[in-house]
Amino acid sequence: MSFLTLSQTASAVLAETPKAEYGSFVLTSVLMTLVIIYAMSKLGGELSKRLNLPPVLGELVGGVVVGVSALHLLVFPEAGATAADSLLMTVLQWLGNLDAAAVTHIFQSQSEVVSVLAELGVIVLLFEIGLESDLRELTKVGSQAAVVAIVGVTLPFALGAVGLIALFHVPTIPAIFAGAALTATSIGITSKVLSELGHLKSTEGQIIVGAAVIDDVLGIIVLAVVASLAKTGEVDLLNVVYLIASASGFLLGAILLGKFFNQSFEVITEKLQTRGALLIPAFAFALAMAFLANIIHLEAILGAFAAGLVLDETDKRKELDQQIMPIADILVPIFFVTVGAKADLGVLNPAIAENREGLIIASFLIVVAIIGKIVTGWAVFGKPGVNRLAIGIGMIPRGEVGLVFAGIGSASGVLSKPLEAAIIVMVILTTFLAPPMLQWALKDQATDAVVELSVGD
């Protein structure tokens, strides 16, 4: 018998434990949310598959349908939504006969829980991608990946910022901010599409994943630079040096320690006799690495990816893959549907006057966003016959990273309304266009020998 429902039953009579009562409804609302998320991820994913598109695109669209753009079933307070904006909360209020204060509390808790579940989803996804990636393969293409990442950050940034200043007479600081938003690459979306298409282990796939990881680190640095520029007009050089040092130190340390840890890991798991003997140590290791990355101001997902790379070297890899898969199946869709739900397609509506200027700037940003990344493929050296177009396209989706840049730009107050809308439009379109484009670019290429990730059972 669970703690919370009993409390609810009792407090309905006693009316003296309001917090526990809220708690029970928090569980109720999370259960509702998860059922909606799974329904939409399957509806969208299957439809997408039937249309011969990557399933993750459908999951994103499924999120859009239930999100802030359409049904308002799944909205989040970060974007300014209140409990009254959430259709789910309205239903819950009616079902539970709750007052406004209770619903506000439940709405915030539900958003918090679902956000953490989504974060755990992308952590598990990157752990899985790390397990699927081969460290030796990845180091082989390391320098190519670095070049792709660096070109893919500098080119869109320069083209975007200069273009906005020259063509649209945008002031310098907002132009730099918009340029920064163009640098992002969504490692989550890009690696998910690659694994769905069975190209994660190809040279192209490994270059894209490697470049996306490096891009992620560069993105943190770019953001720190831009944010301090927006605030003080100066760059906090010490912070930049710290970020570069900690990022390099973390990734190299993880790889070097990997060999040592592998052996202890196998010794430990072989000694354990209770359920989850392999899974729990591996999962706890991934979470610990994610924690470590997070606490030194890197991304949690970088830690999980590094953990996957390390454990990929163990003999238990196959077995571990098998056990991580169902966990990824239930957690990863929460991430993608949530990303879709947070994308506000309202900015695409040309009927609203203030969107029009934004849409014009957006057209420019989208061209830069696509061209600036596509050309990165041609920066790859020493790999004749590599699919350069696919590599470039793989770097296009801005996804959740782009939404963060837009959100922070909005919070900092440096962006004008049209420019902010333009960035959001750019993010949304690159996110939704990249999966089908990548599929098209890879269509004539052989898939991975063992397509473990692309089929569920």
Residue 245 lies near its own copies (rule: CB under 8 A): no
Residue 315 lies near its own copies (rule: CB under 8 A): no
* Smallest gap from residue 168 Cβ to its own copies (A): 24
- Of 4 and 150, the one with the shorter C-beta distance to its own copies is 4
Residue 28 lies near its own copies (rule: CB under 8 A): yes
Select the residue interacting with its own copies from 51, 100, 101, 116 (CB under 8 A). Answer: 116
Alpha carbons 214 and 206: distance in angstroms, whole number: 12
Alpha carbons 422 and 402: distance in angstroms, whole number: 12
Residues in contact with 55: Cβ distance below 8 Å, sequence separation at least 6, in sequence order:
44, 45, 46, 48, 49, 196
Stretches 63-71, 247-255, 319-327, 417-425: which one binds its own copies (CB under 8 A)?
A: 319-327
* Smallest gap from residue 171 Cβ to its own copies (A): 18
Residue 12 lies near its own copies (rule: CB under 8 A): yes
* Smallest gap from residue 337 Cβ to its own copies (A): 12
**For the CA atoms of the chain, what is the radius of gyration?**
22
* Residues between 278 and 297 that touch its own copies (CB under 8 A): 278-281, 283-284, 287-288, 290-291, 294-295, 297
Residue 319 lies near its own copies (rule: CB under 8 A): yes
Stretches 64-72, 166-174, 252-260, 324-332: which one binds its own copies (CB under 8 A)?
A: 324-332
Supply the DSSP symbol for 1: -
Contacts 24+ apart (CB under 8 A), 244-250: 246/296, 246/297, 246/298, 247/217, 247/220, 247/221, 247/298, 247/302, 250/292, 250/293, 250/296, 250/298, 250/302, 250/303, 250/306
Alpha carbons 46 and 288: distance in angstroms, whole number: 34
Residue 190 lies near its own copies (rule: CB under 8 A): no
Q: How far is CA 410 from the centre of its chain?
A: 19
Six token digits for residue 316:
């238990």
* Residues between 344 and 363 that touch its own copies (CB under 8 A): none
Cα distances (angstroms) measured from residue 112 to each of 27, 100, 119, 165: 12, 18, 11, 39
Q: Which amino acid is at 292?
A: L
Alpha carbons 163 and 175: distance in angstroms, whole number: 9
- Number of Cβ within a 10 Å radius of residue 93: 20
* Smallest gap from residue 304 Cβ to its own copies (A): 10
- Of 175 and 229, the one with the shorter C-beta distance to its own copies is 229
Q: How far is CA 452 from the centre of its chain?
A: 22
Select the residue interacting with its own copies from 4, 146, 150, 345 (CB under 8 A). Answer: 4
Residue 451 lies near its own copies (rule: CB under 8 A): no
Counting residues that bind its own copies (by CB under 8 A) gives 112
* Residues between 224 and 243 that touch its own copies (CB under 8 A): 224, 227-228, 230-231, 236, 239
Residue 401 lies near its own copies (rule: CB under 8 A): yes
- Of 134 and 329, the one with the shorter C-beta distance to its own copies is 329
* Residues between 59 and 88 that touch its own copies (CB under 8 A): 77-78
* Smallest gap from residue 237 Cβ to its own copies (A): 13
